[in-house]
Amino acid sequence: MEDQTDFDLNRAIRHWRGQLGQSPAYRAENLEELEAHLRDSVSGLMGKGLTEEEVFLVATRRIGASGALEPEFAKINDPGAGAGRRWWGPFGQVPIPRRILGLMAAAATVLLATVLFAYLPLVGRVGNLTASGAGLELGEWQVTVVACLTAVMLSAILALCSLGVRFASSLTILSGLALCGVTGTVGALYSLRSQTGILNQYGHGVAYGEWWASVIPWTFALGLVGLCAGSSLVYWVVDHARRRAGIPLAR
Amino acid sequence: MLSKELVAASTVPLVLSVLTEGESYGYALIQRVRELSGGRIEWTEGMLYPVLHWMEREKMIESRWRQAETGRKRKYYRLRKEGRKALHTEQRHWLTVHATLDRLWKTKPTLI
């Protein structure tokens, strides 16, 4: 039989799996199972007068085109449909169901909104005080308010995405978290800068005791957000690279 | 060859019924159905897995990874109590359809 081509069955299977793995519709375990099926199918077709390449083509065709399989796998792995796909959380190996993440984001929205609305009247009072030389500059508090508002809106979007919108992928959620972290940081930095640094030079800032009371919770909150967003991002990059290379998750 | 709709509708009862014979994995399930139907029931093989995972979620079946004698790892599925109940229901429904059609075709043989 003239089967002396360059066809390498294992390489072809790896490539096929890598192609499937580019879609977020499949979990690593799905790919593992489909590969096991493909290998069984290939073994079953061997010795029937077909070349390895022909056997591979028939077996992959029988499994079905990626375009046809993808929506079915997406449906079953869709977290909106129940306990399906899980969002890999800040600690890498602890899967957080997207509903829980959505509830967390919703709680963050409420918290941020509360802080903002508690802060707004204060800003007004401080604005008045500026006239007497003791408050924040107008430009600075506007930036703080805009940043806080953006953070509220972003976490609200995140909550909506996580809780029900079907198109939200892990990437959307991660980007949302990262953006929340960035805007929160900007807001906090402006807030701190205006409360302590510059104004203190002119002797109108917040007293040291109050300064610490303000810095500690901010540092704690930002550290937490940074840890979550950072480690999730690292995990996502690693996971994406793993999927592209078609390497299964260790069990 | 059966229509796509009929194949889709019969997948769950077929899987449940094959699993009453004992634990099995995707490829073997497909082979068994092909063999029993004389090749008239053909699945797009990859489509079986989302169905199996759905059935697992519905607690009809359970799965575990196991290494076969060949050294190859496969995911084996096994029937659960809920699955047996679901199979009884499916059986009742399919037999109702079958019996109804059967009676119709017996009284009006010209239909066939």
Give the pLDDT confidence of B23-68 residue by residue, as tens digits: 999 999 999 999 999 988 888 899 999 999 999 988 999 999 998 7
Domain positions in chain A: 9-77, 95-245
Q: In CATH, what number is assigned to the domain containing residue B31?
A: 1.10.10.10
Q: Which residues of A touch B26 (CB under 8 A)?
A: 33, 36-37
* Alpha-carbon span A143 to B16, nearest angstrom: 62
In the predicted structure, residue B19 carries a pLDDT above the cut 90: yes
pLDDT value, residue A166: 42
Which DSSP string corresponds to A116-172?
HHHHHHHHHHHHHHHHTT-S--HHHHHHHHHHHHHHHHHHHHHHHHHHT-TT--HHH
Q: Which amino acid is at A135?
A: G
Average pLDDT of chain A, as a whole number: 67
| Higher local confidence (pLDDT), B90 or A144 | B90
Between A6 and A192, residue with greater pLDDT: A6
Q: How far apart are CA A87 and CA B6, in angstroms?
A: 35
pTM of the model: 0.53
Give the length of chain B: 112
Nearest residue in chain A measured CA to CA from B53: A76
* Residue A145: pLDDT over 70: no
CA distance B13 to chain A (A): 19
Quote the DSSP letter at residue B38.
Answer: T
Q: Find chain A residues with C-beta within 8 A of B28's C-beta.
A: 40
AA identity, residue B101: L
- SS3 for A27-71, per residue? CHHHHHHHHHHHHHHHHHHCCCCCCHHHHHHHHHHHHCCHHHHHH
A199: its two tokens: 């104004």
| Per-residue pLDDT reduced to its tens digit, A52-106 | 999 999 999 999 988 889 888 988 886 444 433 444 444 333 455 666 766 777 7
Query: What's the token pair of residue A109?
Result: 């929205």
CB contact under 8 A, B54 and A76: yes
The domain total for chain B is 1
What pLDDT, in 10s, does the model give residues A2-39? 445 678 999 999 999 999 988 888 988 999 999 999 99
Residue B100 belongs to domain spanning: 4-111
ipTM, two decimals, is 0.89
The number of beta carbons lying within 10 Å of the beta carbon of residue A158 is: 26
